[in-house]
Structure 1
Amino acid sequence: MPVEEDFTNALRAELSAVEPDTPSLLQGALRSGRRRRRRQLTATLGGAAAVLAVAVLVSTLGVTRHTDSLSRPTAANPTASPAPSTPSAVPAPVGAQGLVAALESLLPHGGTVSDASGTPDVRTPAAALTYRNAQGGSLVRVSLSRLPAAGIVPALQEGCPPDAAASHDVCEAWTLPDGSVLVTTRSSAHADGAPGQQRWSAVRTAADGRRWTVREVRTAGPDPALSFPDLMDIVTSPAWDPAMAAVRAGAS
């Protein structure tokens, strides 16, 4: 018998002698199948839970963002034109009666007033009157103005005029606590230079160009009716604020 046939017959005899353990094989297959199903179920449940958690998280973040977007102010559109600003209304000039009333409220008690008049104007409003008391009588005139921008610094630096010694007996200049400059003058001459008339004045100029001027000319008695402290009180009083608010720049 050839060698190949002997090897084939021997192999068949070995295979026929092995009895397959069918029950064991079946139980092993069942256990393996159960393990695979448990792993698949776990994976499925785990995946579903993860998807649900992500969905809840996204939903929560969506609400939070929405809430944040509602609570934060919306940024302005950078390309949008700003709304035009409404210019503040310029007050109307104070009338003649109001100007006279302001001046009368600043006069010392105990005197009399006559010949009062007011000049409403957008450039140089003024009030004038004659005031008499025990010291004498004086013509008093107050005018308000607002210097143009180019004239403010020179006016603040001017102080007493260069010819003060020739045209005035006394000239003094002070810087007040608010930064405004006050110049007072006293003269015993008439406007044309002739002696015998007393003329006093006080001019206050603010750093923004506002100017208050009071002039007093003695008309009776040995001295003017208003003292220098009286004149200073007149040009530093807030009683002129409403009238000054309506003054336009341009007049000196």
Structure 2
Amino acid sequence: MPFEADFAHAVNRTTDSLEPDLTALLGGAVQRGRSRRRRRSAGVIAGVGTCAAVAAAALAIPGTSVGTHLGGSDMEMVALAMPRSAISGDQMTAALQKTFPGGRFSQVTGQSNNPSDPRGGLVANGGLVLDDGQGAAFVGVSTVRLKLPLKDGDGLNCERTPARPAGDTCAMSELPSSAAIPGGAVVMFEQSAAKQPATADTARRWTVTVTVKSTGGQLQLVEWNSTGGGSGADTPKPTRVAPPLSEQQVVAALTGEVWAPILGAVA
């Protein structure tokens, strides 16, 4: 399934506090699950992908996020907190579609969180294939709440072990405090190739993670320039050069009115 890698990502995220074997869950579905948490210090890591599964696999895997990251033994686990209230998969996919107005959508899938039962999942996510006239692209989103005080971990620090492959990038910035983001937020921008060494026909993934410093609420949006996640030779070839939205547009969307109710519910 082309999207399993991303959904696995989300799965990892939920399991950050449970410690399951994500690899068995989806063979790399949503890779960060928000597994993405590329934790940089030593720790136990159930590494597989996360979010990708969100799309094609409409998997009901508890707590998953969208993106694709391979876990490693040198990652630090990030503590998750229970979300304030339930967020449905339908809410996630509806907000995701509003983020790309005018687009055509297919293979839409979502995953709810369950605040009343940690085993039901701490991460809500959604994914779909977008056709905006510039080439089909898989996009996925996940939301989770980190425990305070925030520590180095997924979406909070670009440092990682092992080092990122040549060509992959990561940058950090901060948003000032505002009515929408009390206390400000930490923003991580990542770009990764689906396989190494990357070539002209290697698909790429752009990930933007926004973490509200005062609440621990976190939103992560992943965009592919192909129709799905996956890894290596299993990743669909690029269908476009650039992602549907620029990094700045993604930040504006995740901190805008469309995602405000969801960010408020999780944090």
Instruction: Give the TM-score, by structure 1 length.
Output: 0.53
Among candidates 214, 220, 226, match of residue 213 of structure 1 = 220
SS of equivalent residue, structure 2 residue 190? strand
Among candidates 244, 248, 251, match of residue 263 of structure 2 = 244
Residues 125 and 180 from structure 1, CA distance in 2 versus in 1: closer, same or farther, beyond 3 angstroms?
same
Amino acid at match of 2:157: G
Is the contact made by 2:165 and 2:196 (CA closer than 8 Å) also made in structure 1?
no
Confirm or deny that 1:95 pairs with 2:88. Answer: yes
Confirm or deny that 1:193 pairs with 2:196. Answer: yes
Identity %: 25
Partners of 2:263 and 2:156 in 1: CA distance: 22
Residues 147 and 218 from structure 1, CA distance in 2 versus in 1: closer, same or farther, beyond 3 angstroms?
same
Structure 1: gaps of 5 or more residues: 1-89
Partners of 2:144 and 2:124 in 1: CA distance: 7
Residues 127 and 157 from structure 1, CA distance in 2 versus in 1: closer, same or farther, beyond 3 angstroms?
closer
Residues 156 and 166 from structure 1, CA distance in 2 versus in 1: closer, same or farther, beyond 3 angstroms?
closer
SS of equivalent residue, structure 1 residue 138? strand
CA RMSD of aligned residues (A): 2.7
What does residue 112 of structure 1 align with? Answer: 104
Is the contact made by 2:85 and 2:266 (CA closer than 8 Å) also made in structure 1?
no
Residues 202 and 95 from structure 1, CA distance in 2 versus in 1: closer, same or farther, beyond 3 angstroms?
same
Among candidates 225, 231, 234, match of residue 250 of structure 2 = 231
After the TM superposition, which residues 31-70 of structure 1 pair with which residues of structure 2 at under 5 Å, given as runs? Answer: none
Amino acid at match of 2:109: S
Is the contact made by 2:224 and 2:243 (CA closer than 8 Å) also made in structure 1?
yes
What does residue 202 of structure 1 align with? Answer: 208
Instruction: Give the TM-score, by structure 2 length.
Output: 0.51
Residues 184 and 115 from structure 1, CA distance in 2 versus in 1: closer, same or farther, beyond 3 angstroms?
same
Partners of 1:206 and 1:91 in 2: CA distance: 14
Partners of 2:173 and 2:191 in 1: CA distance: 15
Structure 2: gaps of 5 or more residues: 1-82, 115-121, 178-183, 227-238
Residues 157 and 201 from structure 1, CA distance in 2 versus in 1: closer, same or farther, beyond 3 angstroms?
closer
- TM-superposition CA deviations, 1:69-127 (whole Å, max 9, x none): xxxxxxxxxxxxxxxxxxxxx965232222211111111x4421111122111310011
Greater Cα shift, 214-223 or 160-169: 160-169
Residues 158 and 222 from structure 1, CA distance in 2 versus in 1: closer, same or farther, beyond 3 angstroms?
closer
Partners of 1:157 and 1:213 in 2: CA distance: 8
Residues 209 and 118 from structure 1, CA distance in 2 versus in 1: closer, same or farther, beyond 3 angstroms?
same
Partners of 2:209 and 2:257 in 1: CA distance: 15
In proportion to residue count, which structure has more helix?
Answer: 1
Amino acid at match of 1:214: L
Amino acid at match of 1:233: A
Is the contact made by 2:155 and 2:187 (CA closer than 8 Å) also made in structure 1?
no
